[in-house]
Structure 1
Amino acid sequence: MQKNIAALLDKTLAAASLTGDKLADVFSKETHRFTITGLSRSGKSMLFTSLITMLKSRSEEGYACLPLLRYLPPSQVLDMRVEPLDGYKAFPHQENVAALAQGQWPSATEEAYGFKLVVRLKQTATFKKHLLPHTDVVFEFIDYPGEWITDIPMLSKTYAQWSDSTWAQLSSGPQQYYAETWRQVINQFDFEQPPTAANIHALVHAYRNYLIYAKREGISLLQPGSFLLDSSDFNWQEFGFTPLPSSITSDVSHPWYQAFNKHFCAFQNNWLTPLKQSIFKETDKQIILVDLFEGLNHSRQHLYQLKETLSHLADTFVYGQSNWFSRKVLKSEQIGKVAFVATKADLIPVSQRENLLNLLHQVSEGARAKFKDKPIEFEHFLVSAMQITDEGSSAQAIRYTDSNGRYVESSFEPIPATLKDMEEGAHFPVPSAQVPNDYKARILAGKGVDRLLQFLLGKGE
């Protein structure tokens, strides 16, 4: 009863100043907002492209590629359409499909994109159908660069704290192998010279070269990730900064500390704070994409670092079940459902996918620990946004089109079911599969997207 009263008050407050069609919209709409969170190369662009392709095929062509309407009975559906999302740049779906047609994978996400699926249902309740002929259920999807996600935790640190923690990262784990050139630059740099624009430029570019190299080698925890994006509105060329030796960050009077502290504060105030307020809010469902193959292809240390990164990222979002008070009075939305998704699951044989799911459970442990004592539903999923491989001649084999355009078969050793099962120095190469010619049919045959949507749309059953 209390829940029904709150729902009525919710709609009554919103309708107080409306009449006619606008009043009908308030009482006829139910909105769900999804945010797709994923680190760089986790497959966000391909998942978004596949999702829109599936939804358009279902709504415009009547292709039953998703059991999406289990919670929206097909007999009641009047209309189903994909529309732009207000305040967000339209996702480049057509451009990505054109790239696939040319045999190229979609470009990485470098901006915030959004779209919405609007499903119009016939009203069935006896009382309501006399007042309103339909109900619109709106599903809003938001995508943004993974580099933004890794930067948001920097809001909770001072420049000195960030610098010291970054050096700790650079001195351990897989980063230590890729930061050698950067450390040499710092060791040879003369900090007695003043922090002129030219000197700062030289240091920032050397650090950015490390970021580029480490990203290419599969490192996930890189800050500031925004320095890697050409589309970023933050001018890192003018206000760039790097970690500095503790002998400098401990001396607040040092000219280099003062210069980089000023730039760091500008990064927080002029870039991260507005970004968090505009993008990382008002969402009630979250999809966290994880590319386990990036770690498997490099080393066990990479997987442990991925686990650490996901744990840090969980601090970026507000988790818990939203209610009328939090939405209307506190003006805040909380994430009540979280889906951990291992992408590109068809790059290994079906026989190995249980091990992949076990790895996903372990890598997400730190993030899930942040949900303790909170009423949050979460599940783990294996998803293929496009079914680019076929079954091989044995349970350990798959067939696919390689980078030379040949249809080949590869056999695989079992992948580890746990992190400790992966031997130090071992790595598990994954196939470099080409975009298939029948890419649209393979998008519509993608695996796991339907089950993922069922969970996010479900009523907790």
Structure 2
Amino acid sequence: MPPSPFRDLTNLGGRAFDRVGELTDRMLDGNLRIGVTGLRRSGKTVFTTALIDNLLHADRLPFLDVVATGRFIAARMEPQPDQAVPRFDYETQIARLTAPDPAWPNNTKVTSQARVAIRYMPGSLLKRRLRGVTRLNLDIIDYPGEWLLDLPLLDRTYAEWSRETLALSRRAPRDALAAEWLAYLSNRDPSGPAEEAVARRAAELYTNYLLACRASDQLLSLIQPGRFVEPGELIGAPVLAFCPLPEPAARAGRHTLWSMMEERFEAYKTNVVRRFFAEHFARLDRQIVLVDVLGALNAGPAALADMQTSLSATLESFHHGRSSWLDRLLGGRIDRVLFAATKADHIPSNQHGNLRRLLDGLVAERRNAIRFEGAAVETMALAALKCTETVMAEHQGRQLSCVRGIPLGRTEPTVLYPGEIPDDHRLLDRDGIRKLNFLDFRPPTLAGRHGRGLPNIRLDQALEFLVGDFLS
């Protein structure tokens, strides 16, 4: 059954009351919440670490206007405002990335938050006279990529979700991964009695299928529900004991397997997804969407299509549009969205433009919809931590732009020509993708030496778009 509207009103009132302190902060100081969103393996943790590190040091941000004009004073980390949300462990992540034998962070497992307080001088003489030295509290929120994919469930009924998910599972390359689960469902009657053992076994096999999708070298992105593979505190809870079912020929009555699964699906939406959305996403001001385009290209056409579908479905759930001052206080709409193709250092610098245009084409439909709603949108190719350098190498009498770095699993630098990236996703046929080769590289040794921020590509331009107007 759908949740009661009266319950929604009660929850809304409770949340509004709880946020009185936050609204006070927004009125006394500038306060901006940025959601670092993106699918799994898009580099959210590295981006968040690099963003914080470069703000704390601010010497690798030449295209951030407040730094370029000498108005930046200092920044420091402060306790995050949401007491129930874990603190983003910046110290551990930066220590891993800057160690003598550096290592990449583990995947994001839980929602976390960091607050960076920035002190600066306003740009205009009038603002300087009225306000003097000014402060911006920048709240950065990092989310597990799997949990983002739960948001589209809010607009689906159990029957709709079952049809879509079953159809997807029967197409290559997922069909082989789903074989055991689909075979089990073929011997079960959705109109049969609601048996807990059957529900749990079906959910277990479905979870195994999702885990296989996540582990696949096809880089499959569309994995729902996300808490099945990253359950957090919900391990063993009945709310995770459901899965899609073939729709029964006749309307299923009470106490059937179908009705049990449908009830748990709705409970998952209400108690997990709606709660997660209300506590985090409904309060964002700005959003950066990180996209591992190069990883999807490496995995092939199926991965690229899966990534495109996942991004579009996820972003439909956000509230984008121009914000008024009241929206800013209450956290009503996201008024700036940056789509960023990550790991731009894995290709030569002369191909960054093609990477940006490729991403622009992949997200064109969603980008245009967000602009129509009134939000500013930009696309960019960046690297939160630069691991390679562009070099020229001769091959068969030709000078080629290549990248040089230390690939994962090796100890010596390698010069690699990854291939030419087209600037239009419609040119990416199967044969063309096979000619591309992107390696994963180790973090650079001594990246944070001399107390400087992590080396990066266009992190300053990303910050200028996301927060530059607040630092003017």
| TMscore range, shorter length | 0.7 to 0.9
- State the distance in 1 between where 2:44 and 2:351 align: 23
Counterpart among 37, 42, 67 of residue 62 in structure 2: 67
CA contact (8 A) 1:116 1:141 kept: yes
Measured after TM superposition, the shift of residue 443 of structure 1 is: 6.1
The answer for the alignment partner of 2:35 in structure 1 is: 35
The answer for the alignment partner of 1:86 in structure 2 is: 81
- State the distance in 2 between where 1:183 and 1:294 align: 29
| SS at structure 2 position matched to 1:153 | helix
CA contact (8 A) 1:319 1:334 kept: yes
Task: Report 1:180-259 matches (<5 A).
Answer: 180-189=179-188, 194-217=193-216, 218-233=219-234, 235-236=236-237, 239-247=240-248, 251-253=252-254, 255-259=256-260
- State the distance in 2 between where 1:122 and 1:454 align: 16
The answer for the alignment partner of 1:6 in structure 2 is: none
The answer for the alignment partner of 1:456 in structure 2 is: 466
CA contact (8 A) 2:66 2:120 kept: no
CA contact (8 A) 1:36 1:287 kept: yes
CA contact (8 A) 1:396 1:412 kept: no
The answer for the alignment partner of 2:299 in structure 1 is: 298
Distance 1:383 1:177, change over 3 A: farther
Distance 1:369 1:252, change over 3 A: farther
* Ranges in structure 1 where 5+ consecutive residues have no aligned partner: 1-16, 59-63
Q: Tell me, yes or no, if structure 1 residue 57 matches structure 2 residue 61.
A: no
- State the distance in 1 between where 2:334 and 2:208 align: 36
Counterpart among 408, 418, 425 of residue 412 in structure 1: 418
C-alpha RMSD over aligned residues: 3.1
CA contact (8 A) 1:248 1:257 kept: no
- State the distance in 1 between where 2:51 and 2:153 align: 32
CA contact (8 A) 1:339 1:380 kept: yes
- State the distance in 2 between where 1:77 and 1:396 align: 36
CA contact (8 A) 1:42 1:290 kept: yes
CA contact (8 A) 2:38 2:145 kept: yes
Q: Which amino acid in the other structure matches residue 412 of structure 1?
A: P
Distance 1:219 1:134, change over 3 A: same
| SS at structure 1 position matched to 2:150 | helix
CA contact (8 A) 1:304 1:363 kept: no
The answer for the alignment partner of 1:429 in structure 2 is: 437
- State the distance in 2 between where 1:261 and 1:120 align: 51
Task: Report 1:278-293 matches (<5 A).
Answer: 278-293=279-294
Measured after TM superposition, the shift of residue 158 of structure 1 is: 1.8
Measured after TM superposition, the shift of residue 431 of structure 1 is: 0.8
Distance 1:385 1:72, change over 3 A: closer
Distance 1:443 1:349, change over 3 A: farther
Aligned residues: 434
- State the distance in 2 between where 1:345 and 1:435 align: 14
Q: Deviations over 1:61-110 (max 9, x none)?
A: xxx12137514786555542222321132111122233332432101111
Q: Tell me, yes or no, if structure 1 residue 440 matches structure 2 residue 435.
A: no
The answer for the alignment partner of 2:10 in structure 1 is: none
CA contact (8 A) 2:390 2:402 kept: yes
Measured after TM superposition, the shift of residue 28 of structure 1 is: 5.4
- State the distance in 2 between where 1:249 and 1:432 align: 52
Q: Deviations over 1:329-357 (max 9, x none)?
A: xx442111110000011112223322211
Q: Deviations over 1:27-79 (max 9, x none)?
A: 65222221111111110011111112212233xxxxx1213751478655554
Counterpart among 85, 95, 98 of residue 98 in structure 1: 95
CA contact (8 A) 1:55 1:82 kept: no
Distance 1:104 1:198, change over 3 A: farther
- State the distance in 2 between where 1:408 and 1:332 align: 47
Q: Which amino acid in the other structure matches residue 94 of structure 2?
A: V
Q: Tell me, yes or no, if structure 1 residue 323 matches structure 2 residue 324.
A: yes
- State the distance in 1 between where 2:404 and 2:127 align: 54
Q: Which amino acid in the other structure matches residue 30 of structure 1?
A: G
Q: Deviations over 1:224-267 (max 9, x none)?
A: 01111142446456642111112379534571101111211221
CA contact (8 A) 1:160 1:249 kept: no
CA contact (8 A) 2:404 2:413 kept: yes
Greater shift, 337-346 or 411-420, is seen at 411-420
CA contact (8 A) 1:349 1:397 kept: yes
Q: Tell me, yes or no, if structure 1 residue 400 matches structure 2 residue 400.
A: no
Matched-pair identity in %: 27
* Ranges in structure 2 where 5+ consecutive residues have no aligned partner: 1-19, 394-399
CA contact (8 A) 2:41 2:107 kept: yes
